[in-house]
Amino acid sequence: MDFQSYIEQTIYSCPYNITFSGNKRGFLNRWLVTGKAAQPHGDKSLEPYLGTDAAILYNARHTELAQEELESSWRYYCCTKLDDDTQIEYCRNNPEQMFSKDRDAYIYCLCCIHCSDGGDFLFFTDPQIPIRVWINGVLVFTVTREYMIKQHVFAVRLRKGMNSVLVEKPDFMCFKALTPYTSRFHLEFTPLEHMLKKGLRQFYDAGQLKILKNNYRIAPDKAFFNSGESIFITVIPRYIKDAKPEEIEVSVYDATGKALACSKESTFKRIMISLDEKISGTLLIKVGGCRCRCRNQSEVYVFKGDFVSRLELMAFEAEMRTDCDESISKTIRRMAEVPDIESSCFKNTMELITDSIYEPLLEQLFVLEGITGCSCTHTEVRDIFTISNKRIMVFKDSEIDDGFIVYPIHFPANYKLKDKHPLIIYFLYGAGYASYPYAAEYIERQMFEDAVILNICGRGGMNRDYISEGVILNAIDEVIKRFNIDRDKIFCVGECTGTLKAIGMALRKPDLFSGLIGIEGTARLDIRNPEFECLGNLDNIKIYQLNNIEDAIFNAARVIDTLKKFRQNKSWNFSGFSHIQFSTMLNSGQLLKIFNSTNRERYPKEIFFITEEPIYNKSYWIRLDYIESLGEKARIEAKIEGTKLIEISCRNIKRLALLLARGEMGLESSINISINGYSCNVCLAAYSESSITIGNDGIFIETRELTHNSFSEEYNCFQIDERLLGIKRVYYSRCTVIKPCGNDRKSALQRIFRLLKAPLKEKVRNYKYGVLAEDELSSDSLKGTSLVYIIAADDFRGIRHELIMGSGISLSDGFMEYRGKKYRGDYFALIRHDSPFDPEKSVLLAICSGGEAMTQMTGLLNSFDYSPAFYNDVIIYSRGDYEYFRST
């Protein structure tokens, strides 16, 4: 009996329910499973390593057999909820829990799909570790640890009747430490005709189907090959209509465009490419059909040789060239820091790198290699932003530590710098993508027009990482300025927790986006006491939502109910998808078409705005310059009533400014501004700023004329003003925490040191601040960094007086004096002031006694993420009371 006949006979003999209907969408989650001890397999055949001797084992016999015999038999497995997995999906398969952990083995999972009639099906797989999949004995999907492919969609024509599905999953020691979530595999299927129905087709567009019909999936054994190694790839059509191999042509090119190899091969075959051992660098492999011209040439990039050494040489060559600015060499060196070649993980992580990172990384390296190795010199100096009209990966150095962030920028097929383009910001987030953003496939393949697309990490959480928020806003600002972006057409797409981030950012910066689309997810509000009133901040933004009704992560009822509370909303509801499949299948170029008819309401007649953080203080033509009490929310409602009146109602605001474009806003040159019942007449220039101070006795308004350019700069500003950060400013850029002398970890000063070393709990990445012992300080170490200096309140001997210069405090005889008031005994103080060593940096003085003050200070520092108190420059606790001071 041949192997496929054996597989089919096993299915027919099985008493357990492992058959799925092909008449509807489904998750493959019921299997027969068996194991095969892992052995060296020579040429790494594309056939399963499984023999034909495993028999079906009934549950009643499980207690009678030894473990080895159990594992070599076919047993029934069904995906079930795990105790440590709070979200359960029907498709998270973890059969390794039925196998011993002390040996390497291959686990095989077997089920079948029954079709009333033959037809074409879309399959979605999202493996966290390598798997291989055979349908009716044909290999349809394969990945290796050294070149992972995630969130992959392919199409297969299933026959009438029974269709076998066999999955191979390695259960090796290197994967056994992973959690069930990070070692699972998904395999889901959908009849193609279902996706082409009216509702779904609006988002599953022709472009996605075109990708499948016209392309091959090239799966290299590795992304990085050693100099002496041959390159191995496996080529499988993305749309498999039969098992007959297609004749293909495989070509290999270096970065100069020189063809290094060309051969006739076939699909469903492991192909060996032998190159001269001296060849090194990034290689482009192209695959095209020899007879079937309907398929496009498909591409993949791999690297051959010593990656780190090669990139260092490229960086040096870039530095020597007069036509490359320093951003080229810096980018090359940063690219060398992304992969750990030995583990196939991102450096300093346990997360496997996938094709979504390999492809843009190696493609950019291929381009840069061509530039640095070119013998001719260009007349124009190139920087990282001008090396490609397809996409670029920008590496931005962190201002805090030696880390960096990455954000890819994708250009439309019809991109021209002289033309104005919309900007679409994608906050895509999935498990593990903390530092390296990825893009939907239609974006990677440049199957979109008109808009520039920025992909950036945007994990929502509670949206408390103000450092990451500032980095994102700076990246958006840079893209706007460099690529001629239409400021009235900036849109945002959020996926999963990226939706939390997108809505959260829009709530804090309402005039940044013209429209927003959420693919699963919703606004992050307190579950017990949701403050729906803040959603009014988005009254002038169009909110669109794609909902997966049976989503495993988000309660669709809550998502839909929250959406109704936005003034301008539209949603589309679908069902039958897993969480990850939904966002992958429906995240298409159709989303961009929704934005085509959406414009920013530049000067809305009505504005509602609530904020409690002074760095988020602007909504269209209103800017809050001073919030009276940072412990309360500032609230404002403003309305343009005709041509002569602006009516404002506000609370907890001491100063605000109105940015008014008289003609565009339909105002006359003389208008009345009414605030909380007080009214004042104001004469307006064409463009002006009216600064308003609100007092107990009325309002004071000062108006200054602006030029068109200065008005536009003020009106379009959305970046964080560092001057308003207060104590948080200390940690916004490079900072050194001075470690107190002494080795007693339980001492009060050491406890404060541990709290102040990294006060931010919710963060996109682990920000690393410098630490220096007090006796290690030098004049050089005090420059170019903010400083945190801890002082014992009961002993001022030996303090560094140069660190308290300019703070406004004096310390003597066991007490602290600040602004004419003396503090002694049980108290603490956090005082931020400009550094005497660098005017752009700060010094934070932390002065504390023991006792109740220590308890209070600990509690306060643990609220650093969410307490507005840290937007003050000074916090003092004494005798049960708090005092707050701000410099601006």
d(CA 132, CA 176): 18
Lowest mean pLDDT segment, chosen from 13-17, 189-193, 459-463: 459-463
Distance CA 812, CA 805 (A): 14
Pick from 170, 163, 53: which is nearest to 115 by CA? Answer: 163
Three-class SS state of 833: strand
In angstroms, rounded to a whole number, what is the distance separating the alpha carbons of residues 235 and 257? Answer: 22
User: What residues are paired with 542 via a beta bridge?
Assistant: 515
Whether 329 maps to a domain, the answer reads no
- Choose one of 720, 751, 772: the last residue of a domain: 720
Q: The tokens of 584 are what?
A: 């992958």
| Domain annotation covers residue 402 | yes
Per-position b or e across 412-426, b if 16+ CB within 10 A of its CB = beebeeeeebbbbbb
CB atoms within 10 A of CB 600: 21
Q: What is the pLDDT of residue 710?
A: 98
| CA separation, residue 271 to residues 300, 536, 643, 718, 828 (Å) | 14, 59, 74, 52, 70
Identify which of 783, 761, 763 has the alpha carbon closest to the alpha carbon of residue 772. 783
Closest CA to 854 of 760, 736, 754: 754
- 338 part of a folded domain: no
Same domain flag for 639 and 616: yes
DSSP state of 352: B
**Of 615, 549, 605, 535, residue with least CA distance to 579:** 549
Give bridge partners of residue 110 from the DSSP assignment.
32, 166
Dist. CA 799–CA 195, nearest whole Å: 71
Of 304, 322, 344, the residue at which a domain comes to its end is 304
Instruction: Quickly count: other Cβ atoms within 10 Å of residue 587's Cβ.
Output: 25
Predicted pLDDT of residue 276 = 93
Q: 71 φ, ψ to 5°? A: -70, -25
DSSP state at residue 353: P
Question: Please, what is the average pLDDT of the chain?
Answer: 92
Q: Which helix (H) or strand (E) holds 515?
A: strand 515-519
At residue 135's C-alpha, the angle toward residues 132 and 140, to 5°, is 50
Q: Please report which confidence band the pLDDT of residue 86 belongs to, taking 50, 70 and 90 as the band edges.
A: very low
Domain check: are 784 and 704 in the same one? no
Q: Is residue 872 part of a domain?
A: yes
Q: Which is more confidently placed, 800 or 359?
A: 359
Mean pLDDT across 798-825: 90
Question: Per-residue pLDDT tens for 189-248?
Answer: 999 999 988 788 889 888 889 999 999 999 999 999 999 899 999 999 999 999 899 999
DSSP state, 98? G
Average pLDDT value for residue range 844-850: 91
If DSSP codes are grouped into helix, strand and coil, which group holds residue 186? coil
Q: How much is the pLDDT for 750?
A: 87
Q: Please tell me whether residues 731 and 853 are part of one structural domain.
A: yes
CA atoms within 13 A on the CB side of 682: 32
Give the Cβ contact number of residue 109 at 10 Å. Answer: 24
**Other residues' Cβ atoms within 10 Å of the Cβ of residue 722:** 14
The verdict on 743 and 824 lying in the same domain is yes
**pLDDT, greater one: 149 or 463:** 149
Q: Beta strands 152-158 and 75-78: pairing type? A: unpaired
Judged by DSSP in three states, 710 sits in: helix
Distances, alpha carbon 212 to alpha carbons 206, 209, 237, in Å: 10, 5, 8
Look at residue 795 and give its three-state secondary structure. coil
Kindly state whether residues 684 and 746 are assigned to the same domain: no
Q: What is the mean pLDDT of residues 305-322?
A: 97
Residue 697: band (very low, low, confident or very high) from pLDDT cuts 50, 70, 90: confident
3-state secondary structure at position 441: helix
- Does 83 score more than 80 pLDDT? no
352 within domain boundaries: no
User: Has residue 694 got a pLDDT over 50?
Assistant: yes
Please check whether residues 42 and 185 belong to one and the same domain.
yes
Mean pLDDT of the 341-358 span: 90
**703, 804: one domain:** no
Cα separation of 731 and 787, whole Å? 9
DSSP, residue by residue, 531-595: -GGGGGGGTTSEEEEEEETT-SSS-HHHHHHHHTTSSSEEEEEE-S--HHHHHHHH-STHHHHHH
Residue 788's nearest CA partner among 844, 732, 725, 871 is 844
- Span of 86-100, 390-404, 864-878 with lowest mean pLDDT: 86-100
What pLDDT is attached to residue 69? 87
Token pair listed for 510: 């309402």
At 681 the pLDDT is 95
Q: Write the CATH number for 590.
A: 3.40.50.1820
Q: Which has more confidence, 775 or 359? A: 359
Query: Residue 813 is part of a domain; what is its CATH number?
Result: 3.30.379
Last residue of a domain, one of 672, 700, 720: 720
Q: Categorize the per-residue pLDDT at 435 as very low, low, confident or very high, splitting at 50, 70 and 90.
A: low
Residue 574 in domain: yes
pLDDT at 85 over 50: no
User: Which band of pLDDT confidence, cut at 50, 70 and 90, is reported for residue 775?
Assistant: confident
- Strand, helix or coil for residue 469: helix
Q: Is the pLDDT of residue 160 over 70?
A: yes
Which letter does DSSP use for residue 208 in this model? H
Domain match, 121 and 157 both:
yes
**H or E segment and range at residue 209:** helix 206-214
370 domain-assigned: no
Element (H, E) at 164: strand 161-171
Q: What percent of the chain has pLDDT over 70?
A: 96
**Rounded-to-integer distance, Cα 40 and Cα 51, Å:** 15
Q: Are residues 459 and 592 in the same domain?
A: yes
Question: Does one domain contain both 234 and 96?
Answer: no
Q: To which residue do tokens 């002496």 refer? A: 228
Indicate if the pLDDT at residue 41 is higher than 60: no
What total number of domains does the chain contain? 5
In this structure, the answer to whether residues 19 and 67 fall within a common structural domain is yes
Q: Which residues contact 875 (CB under 8 A, 6 or more apart)?
A: 727, 829, 830, 860, 869, 882, 883, 884
Residues 493, 497, 502: CA angle, nearest 5 degrees: 40
Q: Residue 132: enclosing H or E segment and its boundaries?
A: strand 132-135
As separate numbers, helices (DSSP H) first and strands (DSSP E) second, the chain gives 18, 50
Has residue 175 got a pLDDT over 60?
Answer: yes
pLDDT digits (tens, 9 = 90+) for 322-341: 999 999 999 999 999 999 99
Name the 3-class secondary structure at 92: coil
User: Quick one: pLDDT at residue 62?
Assistant: 66
Residues 430 and 573 in one domain: yes
Task: Write out the two tokens for 809.
Answer: 């405090």
Residue 374 lies in a domain: no
Q: What is the mean pLDDT of residues 689-702?
A: 94
Q: Which domain holds residue 179?
A: 3-194
What pLDDT sits at residue 84? 45
